Amino acid sequence: MKNIDKYTNEEKRIMNLEYEFVTDFIKLRKNLNLSQQKLADSSNVIRETIARIENLMASPHLNTLLKILDSVGYTIKIVPKDRK
């Protein structure tokens, strides 16, 4: 039973990380005063893809995220996580 509980907790932790990332993604778009359509147009990604990312309906491919973020002057980096 403990193995199942650990797996469930790990999945919850990953889901929370994904939620935080998407929340930051949405904040960035809004801070740049971009609609989903304007972001889609600038990154050559269809608006529905951006909507699916923002609604946690799809996990985007890395190249899709890079394309979207690059179009507004951002990128993705691997950094150590904070140890609390």
Domain residue spans in the chain? Answer: 2-70
- At what angle are helices 47-54 and 2-31 packed, to 10 degrees? 130
Q: Tell me: the pLDDT tens digits for 17-76?
A: 999 999 999 999 999 999 999 999 999 999 999 999 999 999 999 999 999 999 999 999
Give the pLDDT score at 7: 72
Give the pLDDT score at 66: 97
Q: Please report where in the chains the tokens 């899709």 appear, as a residue.
A: 64
Q: Encode 21-42: b = buried (16+ Cβ within 10 Å), e = exposed.
A: ebeebeeebeeeebebebbbee
Give the pLDDT score at 84: 61
pTM recorded for the entire structure:
0.84
Asked which of 6-10, 12-16, 26-30, 41-45 is least confident by mean pLDDT, the reply is: 6-10
In contact, 43 and 71? CB cutoff 8 Å:
yes
Which residues, 6+ apart, have CB-to-CB distance to 76 below 8 Å?
62, 65, 66, 69
Give the pLDDT score at 30: 98
Whole-angstrom Cα Rg for the chain: 15
Q: What is the CATH number of domain 2-70?
A: 1.10.260.40
